């Protein structure tokens, strides 16, 4: 199988190479694509080195799958060109997520919707993926009516330059500012650009993508997304209001039996999810499970995951694995 990786030298692309190395995919040829300044550099997969090339060469290569992680504008222009050549595109940007003709896929939840005619498949936003992994089984059991979300998102979600800004500030050194304020010893209630309704794009992704993935446009959702001085891993405080009464032990049991979810919920022993422990892991970690005593049928949850792994690279590779395992590419 030929696989093109667009954005191979970026932060997510670098993580993608690690995940591909660990995956079940048998890749006969990798076609890594980078920016003009990256062309000619080499990346490694399964002990073999591949030279970074340009987008048009990758289109002409006849790749079976192309995984995009190079930003929305690149995806909007080039994903259709790959699709026209018969390549199945898995796009990690926001370009196609809310397109009504494109599937927005978290494999554990809705990969069974994919068909051979889906030539452009959208990978959800990092903060959305980890949240719906924990919410989907509970929604099926109890029905979710309302979500109140607060995120605590690492600077790795912004990219290499954001990590450089934080590390330079910690050393008292000058750095190119990615954020409008210092991030070291600070929290910014500002992830992505602000929109006309006063919410940021990141906050509205949590609203719109969650409804699409869970196939329920009636869930009431409000979100506040905060950037915190952590170099990897997103955390989320989620208040869930159900349509039906729930049993807390049943909630723990449901989540414990959900593939890809690990329950860490023993506060008496100081056991709860933390980004420090989630880094480099593919699971979504859930803890601090407790009733909201101010509302009926309401639950508080704390959800943590590595945003570069399950929030991006791992989810995309899992989509590719599903396409191959289910023969969707050749159906």
Q: Are strands 120-122 and 144-153 parallel, antiparallel or unpaired?
A: unpaired
End-to-end CA distance of the chain: give it in Å, rounded: 15
Is residue 115 scored above 60 in pLDDT?
A: yes
Is residue 282 scored above 50 in pLDDT?
A: yes
126 catalytically annotated: yes
Q: How far apart are CA 307 and CA 18, in angstroms?
A: 14
Q: What is the mean pLDDT of residues 162-173?
A: 96
Q: Are 243 and 139 in contact (CB under 8 A)?
A: no
To the question of pTM greater than 0.85 for the whole model, the response is yes
> Do you know the residue count of the chain?
331
Q: Are 178 and 162 in contact (CB under 8 A)?
A: yes
pLDDT of 328 reads 86
Convert the pLDDT of each residue in 57-88 to its tens digit.
Answer: 999 999 999 999 999 999 999 999 999 999 99
Banded pLDDT at 7 (limits 50, 70, 90): very high
Q: Considering only CA atoms, which of 122, 163, 145, 87 is closest in space to residue 329?
A: 87
Catalytic residue among 139, 187, 190, 234: 234
pLDDT of 201 reads 97
Catalytic residue among 126, 181, 190, 191: 126
Convert the pLDDT of each residue in 195-240 to its tens digit.
Answer: 999 999 999 999 999 999 999 999 999 999 999 999 999 999 999 9
Q: Can you say whether the dihedral through the CA atoms of 102, 104, 109, 111 is positive or negative? A: positive
Is residue 113 scored above 80 in pLDDT?
A: yes
Q: Are strands 284-291 and 298-305 parallel, antiparallel or unpaired?
A: antiparallel
**Residue 195 to residues 93, 191, 205: CA-CA distances in angstroms?**
18, 11, 12
Ordered by where they begin, the domains of the chain are 2-124+312-325 (3.40.50.720), 127-307 (3.30.360.10)
pLDDT of 288 reads 98
Is residue 166 scored above 50 in pLDDT?
A: yes
191 catalytically annotated: no
pLDDT of 175 reads 84
Q: Are 246 and 142 in contact (CB under 8 A)?
A: yes
Convert the pLDDT of each residue in 297-327 to its tens digit.
Answer: 999 999 999 999 999 999 999 999 999 999 8
Per cent of the chain over pLDDT 70 is 99
pLDDT of 331 reads 47
Q: How far apart are CA 163 and CA 165, in angstroms?
A: 5
For the beta carbon of residue 185, count every other beta carbon within 10 angstroms: 9
- Considering the chain, what is the average pLDDT of its residues? 96
Convert the pLDDT of each residue in 227-274 to its tens digit.
Answer: 999 999 999 999 999 999 999 999 999 999 999 999 999 999 999 999
Q: Are 44 and 29 in contact (CB under 8 A)?
A: no
pLDDT of 280 reads 95
Q: Are 290 and 306 in contact (CB under 8 A)?
A: no
């Amino acid at each position: 199988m030929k696989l093109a990786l667009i954005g191979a030298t970026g932060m997510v692309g670098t993580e993608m190479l690690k995940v591909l190395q660990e995956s079940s995919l048998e890749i006969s040829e990798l076609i890594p694509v980078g920016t003009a300044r990256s062309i000619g550099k080499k990346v490694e997969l399964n002990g073999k080195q591949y030279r970074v090339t340009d987008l048009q060469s990758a289109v002409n290569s006849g790749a079976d799958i192309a995984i995009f992680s190079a930003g929305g504008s690149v995806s909007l222009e080039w994903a259709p060109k790959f699709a026209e050549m018969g390549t199945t595109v898995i796009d990690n940007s926001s370009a196609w997520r809310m397109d009504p003709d494109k599937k927005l896929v978290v494999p554990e939840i809705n990969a069974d919707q994919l068909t051979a005619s889906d030539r452009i498949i959208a990978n959800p936003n990092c903060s959305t993926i980890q949240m719906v992994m924990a919410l989907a089984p509970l929604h099926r059991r109890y029905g979710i009516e309302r979500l109140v979300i607060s995120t605590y998102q690492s600077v790795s979600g912004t990219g290499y330059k954001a990590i450089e800004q934080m590390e330079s500030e910690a050393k008292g050194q000058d750095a190119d500012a990615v954020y409008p304020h210092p991030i070291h010893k600070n929290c910014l209630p500002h992830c992505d650009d602000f929109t006309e309704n006063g919410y940021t794009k990141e906050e509205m992704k949590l609203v719109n993508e969650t409804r699409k993935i869970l196939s329920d446009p009636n869930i009431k959702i409000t979100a506040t997304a905060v950037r915190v001085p952590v170099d990897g891993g997103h955390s989320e405080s989620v208040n869930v209001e159900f349509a039906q009464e729930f049993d807390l032990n049943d909630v723990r049991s449901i989540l414990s039996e959900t593939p890809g979810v690990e329950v860490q919920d023993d506060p008496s022993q100081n056991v709860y999810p933390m980004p420090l422990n989630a880094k480099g892991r593919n699971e979504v970690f859930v803890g601090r499970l407790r009733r909201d005593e101010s509302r009926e049928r309401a639950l508080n949850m704390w959800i943590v995951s590595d945003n570069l792994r399950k929030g991006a690279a791992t989810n995309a590779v899992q989509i590719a694995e599903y396409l191959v395992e289910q023969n969707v590419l050749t159906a």
